[in-house]
Chain A
Amino acid sequence: MTGNRRRSTLFLLILAGGLLLALALAGGLLDDRALTTDFSRKNLPPCPAYLFGTDWMGRDMLARTLTGLSLSLRVGALTAAASAAIALVLGTASAAFGGWVDALVSWLIHLVMGVPHILLIILVSLACGRGFWGVTAGVTLTHWPALARLVRGEVLQLKGAPWLRMSRRLGAPRGKILRNHILPHLLPQFLTGLILQFPHAILHEAGVTFLGFGLPPEQPAIGVILEESMSYLTTGRWWLALFPGLALVLVVVLFALAGERLRLLLSPASAQE
């Protein structure tokens, strides 16, 4: 059973990683095709030549979808990594130093958690001038608190462990204690948190862009594609929204599944099942 789960988790992780890489590459290669307009082929429903159809300007929807996903994944990877790093540093510092550092970090966590995500992302994104960096900053600054709180609790618990007190009283250097004792125990939570951050980040990026506060309309982002296609749905051009939306859901589900499997595998409560 464990062997099976281990293998399927590994498979999912490789699949997710491979997809990430392939999409990132595809995004770079298809960038031109996604922007090419050709009015001789506008409004084509899905056909062998254009699997996802074309839009009202004759742009290839497959190329647009792949480029959009690639952009979303890049935003997702960047924000997930950055917010996980913030969470690790703040959570560890909060628990390790205690006192006013802990009070400050806890206050920040509650502050950010208390404001609805989407609102805060819109505000930060607007303040940073929208675009790629606006969205990235917005999603990064809103997604660290949950993981930071988890890391803080974990470090607090580690600090009380007899083996940690033992090491400190035996005079092991601080850096060594952090490297040998704290970080290895945080790794499972950190990795799981990092991967589970991914789908959140992608959805929020698409959501903010859909609402018009994120990436600019000339960029083929999933949010932009979905937003544009809304006005054509009523005229029966279903393929404009269906395929990009489906692709987004698939990617998000894949990452969520991979993260969830990893959590089951790494968490001591379920590792032996």
Chain B
Amino acid sequence: MTLEAKNLTFRYPRRGTGPVLEGVSLTLRAGERVGLSAPSGRGKTTLCRLLAGWETPQAGQVLLDGAPLPRRGFCPVQLLWQHPEEAADPLLKLRTTLYEAGPVDPAVLEGLGVRDSWLERYPSELSGGELQRVCIARTLRPGLRFLLCDEASAMLDLVTQARLWRFLLDYGARKNLGLLVVSHNAALLERVCTRVLAWEDIAAPRRT
């Protein structure tokens, strides 16, 4: 399985004039853990949104094994949003959020340390770390092939971060997942990834 970004160009509608991304290409293979680090505002998060199918690029393509991402149903490429409090509907109990698209493997919940009592609460009643673990749990479904972690652990304390990454690496290895880890934390990327890219490696030089 390969996730490929080919020459992506993207601009947000009605937001400034220039494109956020221009000529960005990236290839991610199953079982690979690729780190990406770049200064703020370069478009890392936008790239993740495109790769996960949240947005459609104006030019270029996102291909999964040579075919476009499915438009309906469970998308094999999932994005872990960097603000978990925005990733869960504030008016729904977490049990609804967690199971709304289908069942979740109990072993995943246990491995992430998601307690059953959390699921009776609303998103505002959990800490960022607890919420992020629920959000991770709902993406780890059988159809998942690639997981994009956009600063997914930045809101956690170091012990929890270590535990979370150990679980994710272990889960990824078992399921042969491809991981894209976006972070400002060079030590984390060094530790977790099989290769680390800088922005210059994936984007054409900016015309200014």
Contact = CB atoms under 8 A, between A and B. Distances in A.
Interface of A: 161-167, 169-172, 176, 180-181, 184-185
Interface residues of B, number: 27
Contacts of A169: 52-54, 74-75, 78-79
B122 to A, nearest CB: 12
Contacts of B177: none
B73 interface: yes
> Of residues A167, A169, A184, which shows the largest number of chain B Cβ atoms within 10 Å of its Cβ?
A169
Given A163-B86, A170-B78, A171-B73, A180 B54 contact: no
A97 to B, nearest CB: 15
B189 interface: no
Given A171-B72, A171-B73, A184-B91, 18 more contacts: A162-B86, A163-B90, A163-B97, A166-B79, A166-B81, A166-B135, A167-B89, A167-B101, A169-B54, A170-B74, A170-B75, A170-B78, A170-B101, A170-B138, A171-B75, A180-B100, A181-B92, A184-B92
Nearest to A161: B86
Contact of A171 (B74, B92, B97): B74
B18 interface: no
A87 B103 CA distance: 36
Given A169-B78, A170-B138, A171-B72, A185 B101 contact: no
A163 B91 CA distance: 11
A169 B97 CA distance: 13
Contacts of A166: 79, 81, 87, 135
Given A180-B92, A185-B91, A172 B100 contact: yes
22 contacts: A161-B86, A162-B81, A162-B86, A163-B86, A163-B97, A166-B81, A167-B89, A167-B100, A167-B101, A169-B52, A169-B54, A170-B74, A170-B75, A170-B78, A170-B100, A170-B101, A170-B139, A171-B101, A176-B100, A181-B92, A184-B92, A185-B91
A163 B100 contact: no
Interface in B59-81: 72-75, 78-79, 81
Contacts of B141: 170
Contacts of A176: 100
Contacts of B138: 170
A212 to B, nearest CB: 48
B50 to A, nearest CB: 12
B96 interface: yes
B102 interface: yes
B34 interface: no
A170 B102 CA distance: 9
B6 interface: no
A161 B89 CA distance: 9
Interface string B89-124: 111100011001110000000000000000000000
A199 B191 CA distance: 66
B152 interface: no
B89 A163 contact: yes
B78 A162 contact: no
A162 B83 contact: yes
B107 to A, nearest CB: 19
A167 B97 CA distance: 8
Contacts of A180: 89, 92, 96, 100
A207 B158 CA distance: 69
B54 to A, nearest CB: 5
